[in-house]
């Protein structure tokens, strides 16, 4: 079975709360991982949840591995210490939070590609192009967005200048993650996200593709819109939405009539 992308088992806010418990238990002293799982978090050392939580703290860069003699131990990182101890409105603490939220490769990928948004096409892109498990992708998106919110990156996030490495063409499944079952819905077209393209005449356009069971829906929008044009576009989309609604209603009515019609015996 194929391996899907690796990503944190919990969001950043919960990871910080677990770091706080670890800090209360051991401060910044290096300690055996099993002791943290069992004593600080009250999981069995063999619990898969405990190990996944520990991995999540590593993803966010909140703990680091240290070698003490022949034993491998862990301790809270400088990043975690800053987040836990510094004042809530400290610029350095906010910077540490933003660095933490972009530390997981999957989170950095989504930030680079959608810049904090979670459009409908995001889900299908993650499933079909990045091999996320369809049963867990919604939880990933929820944790991703809540983590951005916790790090203060959703309101006016552009001003933070959180640059990340170019990741658009990377395959996240290169990391070891959870198993992904092959999709039973068939293949989707490769464009499941907005892309900037050139149209005839040199006009820059955004191309958005929504993959539906009945087929792909494509929307082309000029990359640069004035405020007035944006208002007109929104109004036009509302009209288009009503037209589609009537079309769906007619289709459902016709299907219902067909189902209720007498069948030849």
Tell me the pLDDT tens digit for each residue of 197-236.
444 455 666 656 555 556 556 677 787 777 777 777 777 7
Higher pLDDT, 229 or 38: 38
Closest by CA to 100, choosing from 60, 151, 58, 145, is: 60
How long is the chain? 265
Residues 134 and 34 in one domain: yes
Q: What pLDDT, on a 0 to 100 scale, did the predictor assign at position 172?
A: 75
Domain membership of residue 180 (yes or no) is: no
How far is residue 94's CA from residue 194's CA, in Å, rounded to a whole number?
30
- In three-state secondary structure terms, 99 is helix
pLDDT tier for residue 240 given thresholds of 50, 70 and 90: confident
d(CA 219, CA 80): 43
Residue 192 has pLDDT above 60, yes or no: no
- Provide the number of structural domains found in the chain: 3
Residue 172 lies inside a defined structural domain of this protein: no
- In the block, tokens 């990871």 appear at 15
For residue 176, what are its two tokens? 């070891």
In a domain, 140, yes or no: yes
Helix (H, G, I), strand (E, B) or coil at 74: strand
Model pLDDT, residue 102: 97
Tell me: do 48 and 125 sit in the same domain.
Answer: yes
Domain that holds residue 59: 12-160
Claim to verify: residue 114 and residue 22 sit in the same structural domain: yes
Are residues 54 and 30 located together in one domain of the fold? Answer: yes
In a domain, 169, yes or no: no
- The alpha carbons of the chain give a radius of gyration, in whole angstroms, of 24
Q: Say what the pLDDT of residue 251 is.
A: 77
Please give the residue that has the higher pLDDT: either 152 or 224: 152
Q: Is residue 168 assigned to a domain?
A: no
Rounded CA-CA distance 167/106 in Å is 9
Same domain, 138 and 217: no
User: Do residues 71 and 36 share a domain?
Assistant: yes
Residue 182 predicted with pLDDT over 60: no
Average pLDDT over residues 231-254: 77
Q: Are 54 and 72 in contact (CB under 8 A)?
A: no
Distance, CA of 8 to CA of 140 (rounded, Å): 8
- Least Cα distance to 122 among 233, 9, 210 occurs for 210
Q: Which pLDDT score, from 0 to 100, does residue 226 have?
A: 79
- Same domain assignment for residues 148 and 214: no
Could you tell me if residue 208 is inside a domain?
Answer: yes
Exposure letters 22-53 (e unless 16+ CB within 10 A, then b): bbeebeeebbbbeebbbbbbebeeeeeebbeb
pLDDT tens across 48-74, in order? 999 999 999 999 999 999 998 888 999
Structure tokens at 245: 């609604």
107 & 212 share domain: no
Alpha carbons 168 and 110: distance in angstroms, whole number: 9
Mean pLDDT of 121-140: 95
Is 184 part of any domain? no
101 lies in the same domain as 20: yes
Are residue 143 and residue 19 in the same domain, yes or no?
Answer: yes
Predicted model pTM: 0.63
Rounded average pLDDT over 12-25: 98
Task: State the pLDDT at residue 253.
Answer: 73
The pLDDT, as a whole number, for residue 40 is 95
125 and 202 share one domain: no
pLDDT of residue 145: 96
In a domain, 144, yes or no: yes
Regarding whether 130 and 19 lie in a shared domain, the answer is yes
- Report which secondary-structure segment, H or E, holds 71: strand 71-76
Task: List, in sequence order, every beta strand (DSSP E) within 81-234.
Answer: 195-198, 204-212, 215-222
Convert the pLDDT of each residue in 28-37 to its tens digit: 999 999 999 9
Q: In this predicted model, what pLDDT tens digit does every residue of 69-92 receive, in sequence order?
A: 888 999 999 999 999 999 999 999
Cα–chain-centroid distance for residue 249?
A: 34
**Res 215: pLDDT:** 58
Mean pLDDT for the stretch of residues 3-9: 88
Q: What CATH number has the domain bearing residue 122?
A: 1.10.10
């Amino acid at each position: 079975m194929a391996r899907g992308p690796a990503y944190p088992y919990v969001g950043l806010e919960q990871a910080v709360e677990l770091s706080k418990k670890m800090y209360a238990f051991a401060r910044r002293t290096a300690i055996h991982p099993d002791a943290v799982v069992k004593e600080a978090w009250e999981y069995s050392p063999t619990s898969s949840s405990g190990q996944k939580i520990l991995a999540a703290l590593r993803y966010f860069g909140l703990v680091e591995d240290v070698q003490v003699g022949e034993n491998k131990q862990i301790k809270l990182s400088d990043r975690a210490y800053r987040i836990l101890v510094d004042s809530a409105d400290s610029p350095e603490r906010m910077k540490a939070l933003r660095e933490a939220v972009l530390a997981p490769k999957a989170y950095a990928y989504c930030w680079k590609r959608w810049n904090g948004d979670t459009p409908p096409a995001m889900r299908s892109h993650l499933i079909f192009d990045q091999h996320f498990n369809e049963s867990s992708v919604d939880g990933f998106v929820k944790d991703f967005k809540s983590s951005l919110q916790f790090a203060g990156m959703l309101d006016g996030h552009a001003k933070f200048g959180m640059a990340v490495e170019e990741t658009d063409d990377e395959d996240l499944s290169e990391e070891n993650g959870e198993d992904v079952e092959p999709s039973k819905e068939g293949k989707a077209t490769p464009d499941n996200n907005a892309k900037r393209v050139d149209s005839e005449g040199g006009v820059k356009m955004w191309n958005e593709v929504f993959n539906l069971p009945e087929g792909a829906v494509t929307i082309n929008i000029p990359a640069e819109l004035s405020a007035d044009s944006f208002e007109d576009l929104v109004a036009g989309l509302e009209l288009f939405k009503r037209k589609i609604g009537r079309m769906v209603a007619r289709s459902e009515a016709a299907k219902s009539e067909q189902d209720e019609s007498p069948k030849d015996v």
